[in-house]
Every structure is written in C-alpha cells, then in structure tokens.
A and B are shown apart, each in its own frame.
Chain A
Amino acid sequence: MNSRERVLAHIAGQPVDRLPLMPITMMLACQGIGARYRDYCTDYRVLVEGQIHVAETYGFDYVNTMSDPAREAADCGAAIEYFENQPVAILEDQALLTEKTTLATLKIPDPLGGGRMHNGIRAIGLFKERVGNEKMVEGWVEGPIAEASDLRGINTLMTDFFDDPVFVKDLFAFVVEMELRFAREQIQAGADMIGMGDAAASLVGPQIYEEFVWPYEKQLVDGIHAMGGRVRLHICGNTRRILKGMGSLGCEVVDLDSLAALSDARQQAAPGQILLGNMNPVTILRNGTPELVTQVAAECHRQAGSRFIVGAGCEVPRDTPPENLRALCEYARHHAP
C-alpha cells in the first residue's frame, strides 16, 4: 500500500496498514533544500522540490502547494510584501477593499492568467508528474472569511459584521466564486484533495460563524465535491466554539489546531469524521523531546479514535529538531488506526 492508496483507503473507511501522516510543512520544506523562502512562494519548481524532499525524508503521505495566504489576494491586485525568508504578507493598510464600493467592480482573476494562483496550479501539475501515483497531491484555497480578511483587512472585516452585514455576505459570495474557480483548475491539474484554510474563522464566535461563515464554507466544500475533489479543512487558532459547524461541513478531513481538543471535536463532529492534528507545534513539536512528541501523539490518537490522521496543530516550525519530527512520523508508522 503506497501513501496515496493509504490516505484514499482511510478516507473511504477501508482498512489501512498504518495511520496516514499529513503534517503541514512549508518553511521547513524550503529549508530542507536550502532555498530562500521567497523563491518557495514565487517559483513552483522550488516548492515542488522542497515538498518532495521533506515528504521523502520523513515519509509523509502527501505533498502540498500551500506557501502563504496571499495567492488569490495578489492576483486580485492586493498589495503584498515579499520577504527573503518568511511568508508573503498582505499589507492591510493598503487593503484592496478599503473602499467597500470597489467590490462592485472587482473582477475574479483568471486562475490560469500567469499570476500567483497559476503558479500554484503549475505546482500541482509537476507534483502529479513526479509523485502523483505515489503520494496524495493536495492543492490549497483560502476559505471565505480568511480570503475576505485578506481583501478587506482583517480588523475592518471584524467590525463589518455589525456595521454592514450585507456587504460581508456579498464579499463572501465573491470569494466563494473565486475559490471555486481556483479549486476547479487545481483539480483539473490533478489535485487529489484541496486544503481549505480559513484561519480567521477562529476569531469569531459561534453566532457569527453560523450566520456568516459556515454557509459559505459549505458552498465551497459542496462545490469542490461536485468537481470530484476532496477537502481538508484547516482553521488556525482556537476553534473550540465552532467545532460542531466545522465537523458538519462534510469535509473529508478536519485538521484541528492545538487550542481545541480532539476529544471535543470527536464528540461534536459528524460520525466518522476524520480528524487530523493537533499537538502544539511550538511547545511540543519544536520545544519538546522525541519522548514527549510520542506521548502527545498517542494522546491525540486516543482522543480522536480510529478516524485519525497524524499531524501537528498547525505548520511544523522551520527550526523543529529533526528527531522530534521523526518521533511524530514514527508514531504513524508503527500504529494502525
């Protein structure tokens, strides 16, 4: 059973030889090939090289195209800043939708128009060529509230929920349409799964999540399913109060950050929901010891039960000691679901 077969079988509820292993790595993957992170974000060949290297070094079951949250926003025309050795960032003080009226004239960029989205799609094509039969190829889209934050400015969007709910819904609808076009091209290029990162969802409470965010996340998930894709939902931060919603979107995988308990997610999510995560990537994985990592991985597995994929709560930090990451991987290698 190879990596791809393992993950697909696990998702389908069929027997697998061991727990699948899908931790998020970006800067660590880049560091492994000695590249600049700026190049990892801007040149798909560097990203592919880094991902394949890290996946083969540690035995991950997948490769992923995520490098930063600014692909779509950049193609829309948002001001972004490149750094030599950290992720691309969006300049909130120059947010594209500082004026709400701009939304009315904002065009959805062509994902194949030679921009940053296109770069991500090219990465999928190259992954497919290099490791597509062996490993899961995962693309990436931003979720509705994450992308809306990138376009409007996260601080402003937070008050828009009260000041102009109609605008927020219009903005989310725009985002969903854009992300579906991006997802479609990624699936056509060969992505087995689409990661949906909706980090800002952890900043809002259950009321706003249910009224504004969940319905658009659901549209996005359903749309990706209709294209034949699978979805891994990842929301950074404390999602304790929105677990029920996250677990009822119908995503193949719900990837949990460390601030919410897998045991709570297991209780609240739909039956059979695959959970992924969720040890603290800094205090446990980066600052801990291999013994501690093993112990916490076992606890995550215990809380999540058999519908579980091994990973950290969020991105594995760049300076994580290799022996700690190896301990996480060994846990997957030596345990059946």
Chain B
Amino acid sequence: MPDPKLLYDAVVSGDAKSSLAITQQALADGVDPLQLVNDYMVPAMDEVGRRFEANEYFVPELLISARAMKAALEVIRPLLVARGDKPVGRVAIGTVKGDLHDIGKNLVASLLEGGGFEVIDLGVNVPPEKFIEVINTRQANIVAMSALLTTTMPAMRTTIEALKKAGVRDKVKVLIGGAPITQKYADEIGADGYSENAVGAVALAKRAVAA
C-alpha cells in the first residue's frame, strides 16, 4: 500500500496522476475516504494557500495543485455522498452578471474545495436567478460573488436585492471579492463578508458557516 502521506506531497506539488493513483490505492486498501480528505488533502491545500500567500506559489502552481486535489476528490466525493457525509458548507460561486473574468473566482473555488466545502461553480456572467435557483435546489448556504471591474460591481448589489425579493437572503451568507471591492462596499450593499485574497476567503467562509 502506498503511504497516504504521499497524497499530501502529490497535491502540494500538483501531480494529478499520482494524486489519483494514491487515492485509488488507499481506498482499495480500506482507508477511510474522509480520513484522506481531512488528514492529507485539506492540510495539503492549506500549505498551497500558505505558499501562495507567501509569494512562493503563484497562479499556475495553485491551479495545478487544485487540479491534483480535484483528481482525488472525484473518486472520494461519491463515496462521501453515498454514506451521507456532509461538507463543511455548500458554496454557490460565480462572477457577477456582465463580468467574464474568472481567474480569481477559480482560485477561491479551489481553495474552498480544498477546505472541505462543496463548491457549486456557476462559472462567469451569473445572473441573480441562477444563484437563487441553486440556493433552492441544492441548499447552498454561501453565495460567493466576484467582480473585476468597477462597472460590474453594481451587479453584486442587484444580486443581493434579488435574493431578498426571492425570500432566500436569510438562508445564505453572501461573500464578495475582486480587485475593486472593499470592505466599505461590502458593508454598503449588505454583504456578510469580504476578503481581499483567496486564502482569506476560505477563513471567511469557515467563519460564515460557524456563525
């Protein structure tokens, strides 16, 4: 049996092939899937986040680590779902309507997934109705929105208003981020939280579901 600790190394170094192979072998050997997530994958993505924050890793390194994590998660997640294990939280994430810039959103989504969240990635240019639908149909408890442009920021306010109108605002915490966003803006539009970077967004989401 390969040492599951190698899973940690495979995720940190962004080796998707090894990550998948080690996971498959460990599962075949009877290792608990949740243990693989909690003992190796979450700490690995924590380390990736730390290196990213310390300017040791940059976007390419983070994305290949995320890919290695996802390769393992794809075989682990169905097992967790089948036995009824619940994720830390369910996040519906997307760039707001009119905004097609998604690299920041993708970094946050990967780190959230690495932090044990189930991430429902709605992609780019997401209209408010789409967020509402996912809150209703998939019980998302966090809505995470991103905007890169000052011209698309107002869609965050529009989305929050739409959540209120649809009667689902109280079911979710709304977190926002993106280059032009500030805490002041988050307060103004009634968002529950703002993070200026991807690593901070995970801590913010954890606080949001604990509150």
Which residues of A approach B to under 8 Å, CB–CB?
27, 81, 83, 85-87, 89-93, 154-155, 158-159, 161-162, 203-205, 208, 240-241, 282-283, 286-287, 317-319
Contacts of A282 in B (CB 8 A): 150, 179-180, 182
Complex interface bits, B76-98 against A, C-beta within 8 A gives 1, otherwise 0: 00000000000000000000001
Chain B contact patch, size range: 20 to 34
Residue of B57, B58, B152, B184 with highest tally of chain A CB at under 10 A = B58
Q: A92-B102, A282-B182, A283-B182 are in contact. Are A158 and B150 (CB under 8 A)?
A: no
Q: Would you give the shortest CB distance from B197 to chain A, in whole angstroms?
A: 10
Complex CA gap A158/B61 in Å reads 8
Q: Are B14's CB and A203's CB within 8 A? A: no
B106 interface residue (CB < 8 Å to A): yes
Contacts of B152 in A (CB 8 A): 86
Q: Are A317's CB and B180's CB within 8 A? A: yes
Within 8 A of A (CB), among B82-141: 98, 100-103, 106, 123-124
Q: Which 3 A-B pairs have the closest CB atoms?
A: A205-B58, A203-B59, A89-B100
B204 interface residue (CB < 8 Å to A): no
B151 and chain A: residue at smallest CB distance: A86
Q: 6 interchain pairs (CB within 8 A)? A: A86-B149, A86-B151, A92-B124, A154-B103, A158-B103, A283-B182
A203 and chain B: residue at smallest CB distance: B59
Q: Are A155's CB and B102's CB within 8 A? A: yes
Contacts of A317 in B (CB 8 A): 150, 180
Residue of A89, A91, A93, A318 with highest tally of chain B CB at under 10 A = A89
Q: Are B151's CB and A318's CB within 8 A? A: yes
Complex CA gap A64/B123 in Å reads 33
Q: A205-B55, A205-B58 are in contact. Are A158 and B63 (CB under 8 A)?
A: yes
Q: Are A318's CB and B55's CB within 8 A? A: no
Contacts of B57 in A (CB 8 A): 205
Contacts of B59 in A (CB 8 A): 158, 203-204
B167 interface residue (CB < 8 Å to A): no
B152 and chain A: residue at smallest CB distance: A86
Given A89-B101, A162-B60; 15 other pairs, CB 8 A cutoff: A91-B100, A92-B102, A155-B103, A158-B63, A158-B103, A203-B103, A204-B58, A204-B60, A205-B55, A205-B58, A208-B58, A241-B58, A282-B150, A282-B179, A282-B182
Complex CA gap A46/B150 in Å reads 22
Complex CA gap A240/B58 in Å reads 12
A282 and chain B: residue at smallest CB distance: B180
Q: Are B100's CB and A92's CB within 8 A? A: yes
Complex CA gap A154/B67 in Å reads 15
B162 interface residue (CB < 8 Å to A): no
Contacts of B67 in A (CB 8 A): 159
Within 8 A of A (CB), among B172-197: 179-180, 182, 184
Complex CA gap A87/B152 in Å reads 11
Complex CA gap A317/B59 in Å reads 26
A238 and chain B: residue at smallest CB distance: B55
Q: Are A155's CB and B58's CB within 8 A? A: no
